[in-house]
Amino acid sequence: MTTMILAQETAAAVPATVINLAYIVSCVLFIFGIKRLGKTETARSGNFLSALGMLIAVIAVFFDADVMKSWNTQDWMQNGYLWCFGGIALGAVIGAVWAKKVKMTGMPELVALFNGFGGLASLLVAWSEFVKLGPDGAPVSHALTADNAVSEVSLYLTILIGAITFTGSVLAWGKLSEKISGRPFLFAGQQVVNALIVLVALGAMVVYLFPGLVPAGDPATVQTVALYTGIVVSLIMGITVVLPIGGGDMPVVISLLNSLSGLAAAMAGFVINNNVLVVAGCLVGASGVILTVIMCKAMNRSIGNLLFSGFGAADSGSSKKAGTGAEPKAVSVEDAYLVLEAARSVVFIPGYGMAVAQAQHVVKELAAKLEENGAEVNFAIHPVAGRMPGHMNVLLAEADVPYEQLKTMDEINPLMPMQDVAIVIGANDVVNPAAATDKSSPIYGMPIIKANEARTVFVLKRGKGKGFSGIENELFTLQNTRMIYGDAKATISALSGEFGKE
């Protein structure tokens, strides 16, 4: 009895207005945090502000009247504090272990999974509201009324978007981690199948909202069948949407799925009437959409083309037309050093190969040696280099590469003809001249870093294989290009070591 009285007194001492004020503070911190994430020098403080905002929001939940009243329950399954602290503890352990063990090369697929978990969490929130029992122990009615119209529509949309995000992200994770093929999977009638799936999902939503359209049947039962049909169909839709997308488009897909996870969270906020969840979800959704549009623009493609074109499904054969049609020419580390030693301007163009080799630190070391030798050094970053948005920026920031040396594609391209050497480290599609010369290429029209315009191009690759998208690269057989085969980290270390022999 004493515990109940204390809980009730504490609940009375923390009115809803104070809880909402805490949520407003959280939202403001989220906004400032995202703003500061836009620059390398302020990103750390931006991350801290966002984390602080989330901490305040979580603490505010503990003082919610409904949660506090559950403290005195005799049924541990109904104890809100037990679930809150239990979830935090479990998530903290899993997150800490996972973050400790994941390699930098595994970050793209980890981000993809996080997007999926966000969608799944929103789906479960909406589902729990659907199966929730009232104070009398009876199922809560979901009959559509003027009072609950927003929450009921949001409930179904949360499930629809959350399910698509979950399975789509899991599939993206599989492609990024190469547990399944990164090539697009296309079959005859795929567009028709996708259209039918969308129609079934929307039809189930109409039946859920208006169960009276089914004349024979209990409305509650009809709603239940419609909702679970929507869940199954949406889970399938997530697979069918991502399946035809090739590996070369995975950075954009991750950005799009991130936006969907935020949108699902915002919808869940309407379902449970939580303001901070609505605002946070909208921020994530909006920023994800903006980033997706920016990346699509960088590839000179529309979102519709991204989702339905099957990028990389067929090899354009463009490499057969490159240069004189000769095989790529290899060069030794010693000969490459002689060129670099005389170079006055060098630009590094990193790609996923740098992440695989964990070469960012030795790249920074070589860049320092080149600068000591009198060369001007820059790093050219393509918006979709790597396998997640900002992948190369994260790696180079980890190696303490000065921010002013990081040049965007638009900044570096006018300077490329004046560069003595361009060093391509594991990049492929983002430096492929076929994007500008071969109309039959799947990447035709995509803006690239014009490495081919440098006086000399060194391409660091493990072997003669194609890039992740499966497209041959004309750059490799041009007259001014030389290949340096082997592990990028070992190659860069060897080049740096040559400078040390002087």
d(CA 223, CA 129): 14
According to DSSP, residue 343 is labeled: -
Candidates 247, 53, 284; CA nearest to 161 is: 284
3-state SS track over 242-289 = HCCCCHHHHHHHHHHHHHHHHHHHHHHHHHHCCHHHHHHHHHHHHHHH
425 contacts 354 by C-beta, under 8 angstroms: yes
d(CA 124, CA 107): 25
Three-class DSSP category at 26: helix
SS3 content of the chain, % helix, strand, coil (to 5): 65, 5, 30
Strand partners, 421: 346, 456
Q: How many CA atoms lie within 13 A of 291 on its CB side?
A: 23
3-state SS track over 143-212 = CCCCCCHHHHHHHHHHHHHHHHHHHHHHHHHHHHCCCCCCCCCCCCCHHHHHHHHHHHHHHHHHHHHCHH
Residues in Cβ contact with 323 at an 8 Å cutoff, skipping those fewer than 6 apart: 474, 477, 478, 479
249 noted as active-site residue:
no
d(CA 130, CA 152): 9
d(CA 435, CA 122): 40
Q: How many CA atoms lie within 13 A of 481 on its CB side?
A: 25
Q: Which residues of 326-350 are buried (b: 16+ CB within 10 A; e: fewer)?
A: eebeebebeebbebbbebebbbbbb
d(CA 388, CA 107): 8
Quick one: tokens of 287?
A: 């920023």
Tokens 């909402």 belong to residue: 20
Tokens 């000769």 belong to residue: 326
Which candidate in 400, 429, 438, 487 is catalytic?
429
Strand partners, 348: 379, 423
Catalytic residues: 429
